[in-house]
Amino acid sequence: MGLGLFGISSGGNVSLLTAAQGGDGNAAAEDPVDRQDDRVGAVACFYPPTDLLNFGEPGKVWLPFRGPEDTGDDAALARAHSPVTHFTHAMPPTLLIHGDADEQVPIQQSQAAHERLTALGVTARFEHRAGRAHGWPDMSAEYALCAEWFDTHI
């Protein structure tokens, strides 16, 4: 049995970053925890920020939060926190759901992630929601879609 990650908005960003950085484990590691495979079985997320170097348009860098320890330049920080820069062919099956009326996270973010995953040969699905903003009153159909995604891929 595998682990599925689900996230909404920034939680989607974290879910995608986590999935992108999973690995086989290090058999030579001293700590037994580090020897374990930590790959994720599937991801489903709503309107995640995925490319902070191109946030809604090419070259627009977006850093919503910069902690005092973040002393690097903006582009380096944006790259580090952008899931698309970490995607590989080893990404798990990924479902992205995004509304085209979202004024907080442009739909382009999920489109960019889907394009990158598809180019890498990863099983990915993009669900466009016409007229939907950053969250909507009844997301039960989308939650059911996420559950189906996990049932299928884990």
**pLDDT, tens digit, 9 for 90 and up, residues 11-51:** 999 999 999 998 787 888 899 888 887 899 999 999 999 99
The number of beta carbons lying within 10 Å of the beta carbon of residue 6 is 18
Cα 144 to the center of its chain, rounded Å = 19
Q: Does domain 4-153 have CATH number 3.40.50.300?
A: no
The proportion of the chain whose per-residue pLDDT surpasses 70, expressed as a percent, equals: 99
pLDDT band at 151 (very low <50, low <70, confident <90, very high): very high
Q: Residue ranges per domain, the chain?
A: 4-153
Q: Is the pLDDT of residue 1 over 60?
A: no
Q: Is 2 helix (H, G, I), strand (E, B) or coil?
A: coil
